[in-house]
Structure 1
Amino acid sequence: MAPTHLRHAMLACGVSLGVLAASPAHADSTADAASASASDADAGRTIVVNGEKGETVASGATGLALSLMDTPQSVSVVDRTFLDDFALDETNQLLRYVTGVNVDQVETERTYYNARGFDIVDAMIDGISLPNIWGPTIGAQDSVMWDNVEVVRGANALLTGAGNPSGTINYHRRHPTGQRHMSAELSYGSWNKKRAEVDLDLPLTADGKWAVRVTGAAQDGDSYLRSYHHNRTAISGVLDGEITPSLHLSAGYIRQDSNSTGVMWGALPLQDSKGNQLSFPISTSTTMDWTYWKIHDETAYGQLTWDFAPGWSVRAHVTRKYHNEDSRLFYVYGTPKQDSQTGAWGGLFGNPGAYAPVAKGWIYDGTVQGSYRLFGRDQQLTLGVQRTVGTYEYYGRAVPDSDPAWGQIPGLPDSWTGQEVALPAYGASVQQEHTEDRQWRLRGASDVSLTEKLSVLLGASYLVEKTRGISFGASTDKNEKALSPFVGVTYKALPGVNLYASYSSIFAPQANLDIDRRPLGAAKGKSYEAGLKAQTPGGGLFGSVAWFRAEQSNLADAGAYDTATGQTLYNGIRAVSRGVEAEVGGKLTSTLTIQAGATTLKMDDGAGRQVRTYVPRNTANLALRWNPIAPLQLGAAVKWQDTIYSGTVRQGDYATLQLQAGYKLNENVQFNFNVANVTNHKYLTSLYWTQAYYAAPRNVTGSVRVTF
């Protein structure tokens, strides 16, 4: 995979989640369950699959206040306790333990997520959809600001409007609880990793009806990778208040800044000129010492919720997002070749790049929801409209063709020191793209209880997207619109046992250009799911089994590389995915908690030819937490995947093990210790591209948390 400028990667990190560390330089490169106040209350009482199971509301699946049992889709949630116990400080780490989700770290600063064979490109914050014209969730996002992270697997046309068959990530902010709480944590780990966290939960009035929550983290450290150093700061502030008993306000701000040096743009060449797969030391990097990648991202929002009638509320929401980056990068391409006479290696060439994208936009969202009587029963209804306005500008600094940075590099990366290529002579900054995206989305859904046992969920989302702009001289103009219906059925077969089935159409806008440098257009298709959900009396243990099938046409697949512009160009392919998922979570005993899941899938072009072979066909995850005595907790987390390949490059099946121990000295002081990749297994982080690098070897993290 050559370096690309792709706009959607920038917008993914820049305007999607507000605090993402993604890639500027490559082209690939609330509709809540209830009102704002109710949603906040849910956040406080919701105990999710990855914790002690309780009454969980899956707001990110339908926009209706449905429990996990009554939601006709697969849903997993990672709670705050799980994040703290296993020291999962960023999104890339926590998503590894979600059933069916795969994390492809293709470079030091860029990551893709996939589920059920397809990239996850839809996200929400507190149930507010982030349009996928701004791309997938990319990069190392700090987890300090999230109370929990909900992943809805399968197509989700009701809230995202696109119905992408992979899934949707719904990030829930840490809202005020109305009670005073303060905590601070210091941690230290391998490669001189230093981290500090703070959480301030402060009521502003005696009755707690006005309160503020401020969370933040600062982290700095080196790496097992040669020359790589990374630091970031993240801060979140949320104000919740009751203006009147029926009018509620929520407002907040999130900011993340990250700075990395010795970064990788692209990764290691994996095959030599004879087709042999190469192996390098784990620390090997293609970076030069003068590379860096700086990312600034901020999001502000305001929301009013009015309970205007018994059982009915209306919510008005606005989000402002801004993102910019500055990078100086070095890409290595070519095929390593060994001289038969001297044994010296060559065949690799440099490609310097410097990029500074700016992405900004607004999200306006309005929702009305409530209940009505039909068939002698209370039914739920939600209606919503969303307007999105986004602007993207992309700047680059060229290096003259005569500069030595474009030349051949002797040897292999494992022998490099980072000083093989001198800092090139970058030219002045030039705007290479300006694109404006406009999107309207109308949505509606109703959960209709036909009998005591049978419910039908009916909904649809209508999406209109208009894009205008120029990218490297090529037009990005497009007009697309589609209606995406959703149908779900839930049947209470036995006490604590539900059967369900659902269908959604797929309409997924794509920012890619085809091989003629014209907009590729949206991927389209269908998604089906059927399954069983069960829980023990009291909800202590929850389990589910799901069968799924999804088919897409015109799905973007890398087809060519334009050396003149540095763009990857795409073909639209057909892809069919089908498989089975199983998951169980909750309390096995009063002292033992489990979270486990497994996914098996098949994926081809509908005619038997395998596609997207870098996606593992079989994965499994298991996490156990045990409290043998009151102050002591022991934990273990395992993730396994089978063999993947890209062309003739393979990564064999492997499992990683993380062990955890926590000790609560008293009510105010708690110690925690984690060892990741305990077996010190060597494996590639991804085969999403034809290049890759190695995951971290065994590493340790220790921390102390003080609560006031």
Structure 2
Amino acid sequence: MVLNSNSKGTAVRKASKAGAGGRTARVWQWPLWLAVAAGPAQAQDAQALPAVTVSGEGVASDAATLGKLPLALREIPQSVTVIGLERMQEQNLQSLDEVMQHATGITVQPYQLLTTAYYSRGFKVDSFEQDGVPVLMGNMAAAPQDMAVYERVEILRGANGLLHGAGNPAATVNLVRKRPQRAFEFSGTASAGSWDRYRAEADLGGPLNDSGSVRGRIVGAYEDRGYFYDVADQQSALFYGIGEVDLSPRTVLSAGLQHQRIRSTTNMAGVPRYKDGGDIGLPRSTYLDAAWDRFNWNTTRVFADLEHGFGQGWTAKISANYLTADSNLKYAGAYGAIDRETGLGSRLMGGAYKFDNTQASIDAYVSGPVQWFGRRHELLLGGNAQRTTSEQYTGMLIPALNVPVDVFDWDPRGVPEPGVGPYASPGETRLKQQGIYAMGRFSLADPLTLVLGGRMSWWNQSAPSARQRIDPEFTPYGGLIVDMDSQWSLYGSYAQVFQPQSQLTRDGKPLDPVTGTNYEAGVKGALADGALNVSLAVFQIRQKNRAQQDPDWPCVGNNCYYISGGEVRSRGFEAEASGQVAPHWTVAAGYTFNTSKYVSDSVSNGQPYASFTPKHIFRLWTNYALPVMERRLSVGGGVQMQSGFSTVSGPVTLRQGGYTLVDLRMAYRLDKHLTAALNVNNLFDRRYYQSLSGTAWNNRYGEPRNVMLTLRAQY
């Protein structure tokens, strides 16, 4: 859910003069299948694309369209969290990783190479969008996302196959880019913090002609930082530019470019454990790689949108994205579990790689109202397609680095940098996915709304070793919403998604796709005229048709045959409250309980499925402007509590107990343009592992106590 986002400069779209003086409203851009509004105020004819801004005044039931039709949270029959610009600024959330660490129900697993995986309801999140268009993220070639570009982050938990086609029943993460405004606005920040972290941002936008029919916005950011572990550092530079043109009162064309470059000294090894799984107790500053490690990214995204209002409430939009990304990695790190008696067992291993990716995405839809049987309903028809190419090149380090490592006395600068042999690639992998979808939101009675939809997907992958085709796959969706009154609603929903499998049957054919089905029911409320949103949901996910080894055909070496029939079940409930609880006081709180297990599996039947995700996760953030000094002084604080988790590594189990983290913030508004803020994270310096991978390496400490001082200017 959303904290107030009433900071200046959060206008998302002002596409016509008619809307420039309209009342402000908080709106959201949802995945296509959710994007049908039911408010009676939307029955009016759309003579021009109306103005939409994001503010702290609550959810407006009469909010007009922004890309896809806006919905109040309680009109959506699934769990949704939105983290807006103001909260990102308050908590100093500079990357998508940091945003996800504070989102309800999300587990963040830091991996090697500064890459990260997100988990929701026990499953890995693999569905990402920018402005509602599916995009490639989390790939080795794609740089981590810098939040300077984005207005807000929307997270829909559970299956979302109606929009994406293939994926896991985890969550969809939609990053909404900043857009130009009709009024001139500028903001800039300068930050300095622990471990030599320095950052600067600038954001400038406004009209480019007298009428405001041509608008532009540019954003730049640069960061130079170290980490709490020794040696590693990172320099990142970001540029973002977007322009909008009103081709007519009903038509808006926008186009932009986003480029990010990162140069980093990475940390592949993390820290190992004892062979029995015990914690060695190495300092959190331990760095077991070579000082010449590097991992560098270059990512460029180009995008364009064309939106047209036909009148009578009907709207069409076509969006296109193109990504090109490359990265290169060279590393050497300690690998191997440690013997308690001798302190030995780790050796230096390394490698060199290059990664190249491209992705082209297109999304088009038309939506609008119809009158059937004396009642107003909403329809949405559309389609999208993605084409992705990826290639990995491998080079050998010369000479070999298989030498013993003393993890208790390691000098990262004592390893000479080796040369790299010729790079080789097995070939390019190509993935194509197309889909058409239809959805309707049907008003059965004044308090009752039925949502039905379906998608047909075509999926094709060509890899050096195999080809696979799924043609076609149908994905259904259903939801029911009961409005109890003007504030409260009950809902239930059924959502599905599929995921292709590469394992082969004894006949040499790929298994049928895994299907993930999300069942959810709950209650939602929009209180205080929409300023405070609350929700409670129960859910169950069943992922069926998972691969299992064929019992009639034993494996020969690494060659195995498989059958379908495996099943995983995830259950739980979530509670969330977010918004303005009183004047000048905002709160965002979320609690998740989740368990998952193998329901049917030839090896792990009855065992926990995602033991590395905690059963209990509670997250709270609050901020209050004190009633002194003309409310120039504000204080904020956050709590993150979670239960323990574990990871199986061979014959042993690695465990991290539950822990609590406390964050604090204090900000002072120097004048109407300048604000200074101090953030303190992990106030009590809790020592904990954020992720556990195995006894050999890649176990990651969480950040120790750290501070960040920020000066923000806004005009």
TM-score (norm 2): 0.85
2:181 to 169, 177, 184: 177
Q: Which residue of 1 aligns with 2:642?
A: 641
Q: Could you say what secondary structure the match of 2:163 adopts?
A: helix
Q: Which residue of 1 aligns with 2:247?
A: 243
2:657 to 652, 655, 676: 652
Shift of 1:201: 1.3
Shift of 1:282: 0.4
Structure 2 residue identity aligned to 1:410: V
Deviates more, 1:428-437 or 1:60-69: 60-69
Structure 2 residue identity aligned to 1:636: G
For 1:353-432, list aligned pairs within 5 A: 353-399=351-397, 403-405=399-401, 407-412=402-407, 414-432=408-426
Structure 1 residue identity aligned to 2:569: V
Q: 1:351 to 1:519 in 2, by over 3 A?
A: farther
Q: Which residue of 2 aligns with 1:703?
A: 710
Q: 1:290 to 1:148 in 2, by over 3 A?
A: same
For 1:457-496, list aligned pairs within 5 A: 457-470=451-464, 474-479=465-470, 481-496=472-487
Q: Which runs of 5+ in 1 are unaligned?
A: 1-29, 559-565
Supply the distance in 1 between the matched residues of 2:289 and 2:62 (Cα, whole angstroms): 45
Aligned residues: 655
Q: Could you say what secondary structure the match of 1:605 adopts?
A: strand
Q: 1:411 to 1:37 in 2, by over 3 A?
A: farther
1:580 to 564, 573, 578: 573
Q: Which residue of 1 aligns with 2:109?
A: 104
Supply the distance in 2 between the matched residues of 1:469 and 1:364 (Cα, whole angstroms): 23
Structure 2 residue identity aligned to 1:490: I
Deviates more, 1:502-511 or 1:649-658: 502-511
For 1:44-443, list aligned pairs within 5 A: 44-45=53-54, 47=56, 53-55=58-60, 64-130=69-135, 140-162=144-166, 164-261=168-265, 263-272=266-275, 274-338=276-340, 340=341, 343=342, 345-399=343-397, 403-405=399-401, 407-412=402-407, 414-443=408-437
Q: Could you say what secondary structure the match of 1:88 adopts?
A: coil
Q: Which runs of 5+ in 2 are unaligned?
A: 1-30, 38-45, 550-557, 600-604
Q: Could you say what secondary structure the match of 1:681 adopts?
A: coil
Query: Is the Cα–Cα contact under 8 Å of residues 272 and 694 in structure 2 kept in the other structure?
Result: no
2:441 to 437, 441, 447: 447
CA offsets per residue over residues 357-408 of structure 1, 9 Å max, x none? 11012112211111111232221111111122221121111236xx340x23
Structure 2 residue identity aligned to 1:124: E
Q: Is 2:675 the partner of 1:667?
A: no
Shift of 1:59: 12
Q: Could you say what secondary structure the match of 2:159 adopts?
A: coil
Supply the distance in 2 between the matched residues of 1:208 and 1:222 (Cα, whole angstroms): 43
Supply the distance in 1 between the matched residues of 2:484 and 2:49 (Cα, whole angstroms): 29
Q: Could you say what secondary structure the match of 2:89 adopts?
A: helix
Q: Could you say what secondary structure the match of 1:102 adopts?
A: strand
Query: Is the Cα–Cα contact under 8 Å of residues 58 and 75 in structure 1 kept in the other structure?
Result: no
Shift of 1:218: 0.3
For 1:487-526, list aligned pairs within 5 A: 487-509=478-500, 522-526=513-517
CA offsets per residue over residues 576-609 of structure 1, 9 Å max, x none? 1010000011122112211101000111012532
Structure 2 residue identity aligned to 1:415: D
Query: Is the Cα–Cα contact under 8 Å of residues 49 and 309 in structure 2 kept in the other structure?
Result: no
Q: 1:205 to 1:147 in 2, by over 3 A?
A: same
CA offsets per residue over residues 25-64 of structure 1, 9 Å max, x none? xxxxx8494899999944x2365xxxx6433899999954
Q: 1:37 to 1:548 in 2, by over 3 A?
A: farther
Q: Could you say what secondary structure the match of 1:83 adopts?
A: helix
Shift of 1:415: 2.0
For 1:586-605, list aligned pairs within 5 A: 586-605=579-598
Q: Could you say what secondary structure the match of 1:682 adopts?
A: coil
Structure 2 residue identity aligned to 1:188: A
CA offsets per residue over residues 615-657 of structure 1, 9 Å max, x none? 1111000111011131111111111110000121111101111
Q: 1:122 to 1:675 in 2, by over 3 A?
A: same
Q: Which residue of 2 aligns with 1:687?
A: 692
Supply the distance in 1 between the matched residues of 2:390 and 2:577 (Cα, whole angstroms): 42
Query: Is the Cα–Cα contact under 8 Å of residues 130 and 174 in structure 2 kept in the other structure?
Result: yes
Q: Which residue of 2 aligns with 1:540?
A: 531
Supply the distance in 1 between the matched residues of 2:490 and 2:673 (Cα, whole angstroms): 45
Q: 1:699 to 1:480 in 2, by over 3 A?
A: farther
Q: Which residue of 2 aligns with 1:9?
A: none
Query: Is the Cα–Cα contact under 8 Å of residues 141 and 327 in structure 2 kept in the other structure?
Result: no
Supply the distance in 2 between the matched residues of 1:557 and 1:589 (Cα, whole angstroms): 54
Shift of 1:557: 11
Shift of 1:307: 1.8
Q: 1:350 to 1:39 in 2, by over 3 A?
A: farther
Q: 1:475 to 1:399 in 2, by over 3 A?
A: farther
Q: 1:515 to 1:665 in 2, by over 3 A?
A: farther
Q: Sequence identity, in percent?
A: 27
Q: Could you say what secondary structure the match of 2:529 adopts?
A: helix
Q: 1:483 to 1:617 in 2, by over 3 A?
A: same
Supply the distance in 2 between the matched residues of 1:104 and 1:312 (Cα, whole angstroms): 43
Shift of 1:299: 0.5
Supply the distance in 1 between the matched residues of 2:58 and 2:668 (Cα, whole angstroms): 23
Supply the distance in 2 between the matched residues of 1:519 and 1:636 (Cα, whole angstroms): 51
Structure 1 residue identity aligned to 2:131: D
Structure 1 residue identity aligned to 2:353: Y
Q: Which residue of 1 aligns with 2:14?
A: none
Supply the distance in 2 between the matched residues of 1:451 and 1:130 (Cα, whole angstroms): 38
Q: 1:440 to 1:628 in 2, by over 3 A?
A: same
TM-score (norm 1): 0.86
Q: Could you say what secondary structure the match of 2:114 adopts?
A: coil
Query: Is the Cα–Cα contact under 8 Å of residues 107 and 693 in structure 1 kept in the other structure?
Result: no
Structure 1 residue identity aligned to 2:586: T
Query: Is the Cα–Cα contact under 8 Å of residues 459 and 470 in structure 2 kept in the other structure?
Result: yes
Q: 1:80 to 1:141 in 2, by over 3 A?
A: same
Q: 1:275 to 1:65 in 2, by over 3 A?
A: closer
Supply the distance in 2 between the matched residues of 1:408 and 1:154 (Cα, whole angstroms): 46
CA offsets per residue over residues 408-463 of structure 1, 9 Å max, x none? 32312x42121354323320111233111111111111111111100001111211
CA offsets per residue over residues 288-336 of structure 1, 9 Å max, x none? 1111000111100111112234211222222111000011022432221
Query: Is the Cα–Cα contact under 8 Å of residues 194 and 221 in structure 1 kept in the other structure?
Result: yes
Supply the distance in 2 between the matched residues of 1:626 and 1:614 (Cα, whole angstroms): 35
Q: Could you say what secondary structure the match of 2:217 adopts?
A: strand
Cα RMSD (Å): 3.3
CA offsets per residue over residues 65-109 of structure 1, 9 Å max, x none? 322111101111001011111111111111111111111112351
Structure 2 residue identity aligned to 1:611: Y
Q: Which residue of 2 aligns with 1:22?
A: none
Supply the distance in 2 between the matched residues of 1:429 and 1:657 (Cα, whole angstroms): 47
Supply the distance in 2 between the matched residues of 1:321 and 1:37 (Cα, whole angstroms): 35
Q: Could you say what secondary structure the match of 2:175 adopts?
A: strand
Structure 2 residue identity aligned to 1:656: L
Q: Could you say what secondary structure the match of 1:432 adopts?
A: coil
